[in-house]
Amino acid sequence: MNRTFGARLESIVVYYRQEQHMSYVRTQAALQCLNDVEISQGGIDQIMQRAGRQALKQVGTIQTEIQNSTVIYSDETGSRVDGQNWWQWVFGSSRAVLHVIRFNRSEDVIRDVMRGHQTEVWVSDCLPAQLKAPARERQICMAHQIRNLQALIDHFPKYSWPREMQALFRSAIHLHHVRDQLSPPQFQTQVRSLERDCNQLLQRSLRRPEAAKLLRRYKKYRDSLFVFLHRTDVEPTNNLSERNLRPSVIHRKVIGCFRSGWGARTYAALASVIDTAALKGTFPFIAIQDLFGTPALPLPAGV
């Protein structure tokens, strides 16, 4: 026999599990100590299932928002499901955030999300699957490139090319941040200077294999280096995606693996609802409570 609780209490359970990364045992203890309520692990699981079903109803709308976004930021990280290696993907824009946990890391995941839609700009790292995303343009993450170049600098401190390339990328990011402080002619003059300097650095002949590999990458994706300097709606990094994945990394480290594919899908659906609501300024607990309906008592003022 299923036992149901009020919307507020069920929201607290989901908040503990989803946002505070609490195990079933810790959730039980917190409910008993803080809320004077005893709930079995089976009862907690039933609440999570109800929340998951409600969240899954909203995933289609969130996915449609992503498909129709002009700029999409994407990233992925490892996930453990039933003892197996899976992958958690995130697709973000100014309007929505979609989390997907799948058993593979291929472009099939992106195709399933986009379903024939094409965005204007795709911002990501250089994972081959990401670089095959359906987009008119793509911006490769400058933060990743700066880190790759730093690894070269650490190994070869006297090697000049990675230092010059890294300095160029840092200058481009700085120019992006001070765009509003410059007149349009001043900004365009500096952009042309950066583009010219970049072309010169890419003409270098490099003997070290590690440097030559990066050089080939930058030549191949030359048009994807500075899209953010030519559009005001594009960021130079995919840090937005990394921030959206960070709670999931914490969840994985604290909780461990998901026990089932259903658990992984529920977590991804709830993360999608919560992160999309956050773009509108909605606190995670409120977004969770909205899944269960209006509580019997109103929230305290200021919450």
253 band by pLDDT with thresholds 50, 70 and 90? confident
Would you say residue 293 has pLDDT above 90? no
Polymer length in residues for the chain: 303
Contacts 24+ apart (CB under 8 A), 56-63: 56/265, 56/266, 56/269, 58/269, 58/272, 58/273, 59/98, 59/269, 59/272, 59/273, 62/96, 62/97, 62/98, 62/272, 62/273, 62/276, 63/98, 63/113
239-248 residue pLDDT tens:
999 999 999 9
What would the two tokens of residue 153 be? 């600098």
133 band by pLDDT with thresholds 50, 70 and 90? very high
138-172 residue pLDDT tens:
999 999 999 999 999 999 988 999 999 999 999 99
Q: To the nearest whole percent, how much of the chain has pLDDT over 70? A: 95
What would the two tokens of residue 47 be? 């609440």
Judged by DSSP in three states, 47 sits in: helix
3 band by pLDDT with thresholds 50, 70 and 90? low
- The DSSP bridge partners found for residue 101 are 88
Residues with Cβ within 8 Å of residue 126, at least 6 apart in sequence: 140, 141, 144, 217, 221
Q: DSSP string of 98-165?
A: EEEEES--SHHHHHHHHTT--EEEEEE-S-TTGGGSSEEEEEE-HHHHHHHHHHHHHH-TT-HHHHHH
Cα angle for residues 254, 255, 259 (degrees, 5° grid): 160
Question: What is the per-residue pLDDT for 48?
Answer: 93
Mean pLDDT of 30-57: 93
Mean pLDDT of 123-130: 96
Least confident of 112-116, 163-167, 188-192, 294-298: 294-298
Residues with Cβ within 8 Å of residue 243, at least 6 apart in sequence: none
Residues with Cβ within 8 Å of residue 34, at least 6 apart in sequence: none
- Distance CA(131)–CA(122), nearest Å, equals 8
Question: What is the per-residue pLDDT for 297?
Answer: 47
Cα angle for residues 207, 210, 214 (degrees, 5° grid): 100
Phi-psi region of 213 (alpha: psi -120 to 50; beta: other; left: phi over 0): alpha
46: amino acid identity, one letter:
Q
Distinct helix (H) and strand (E) counts, the chain: 11, 5
Mean pLDDT, the chain, whole residue set:
93
- Domains of the chain by residue range: 142-229
- Distance CA(52)–CA(54), nearest Å, equals 5
212: amino acid identity, one letter:
A
Question: What is the per-residue pLDDT for 298?
Answer: 55
CA-based nearest residue to 261, from 1, 111, 80, 15: 80
Would you say residue 92 has pLDDT above 50? yes
Residues with Cβ within 8 Å of residue 140, at least 6 apart in sequence: 123, 124, 125, 126, 131, 221, 224, 225
43 band by pLDDT with thresholds 50, 70 and 90? very high
Would you say residue 7 has pLDDT above 50? yes
Residues with Cβ within 8 Å of residue 16, at least 6 apart in sequence: 22, 26, 27, 30, 31
Max avg pLDDT among 18-22, 168-172, 246-250, 294-298 = 168-172
CA-based nearest residue to 242, from 1, 73, 33, 78: 73
**Distance, CA of 224 to chain centre:** 20
Q: To the nearest whole percent, how much of the chain has pLDDT over 90? A: 86
Q: How many CB atoms lie within 10 A of CB 69?
A: 19
- Distance CA(97)–CA(23), nearest Å, equals 25
Its pTM stands at 0.92
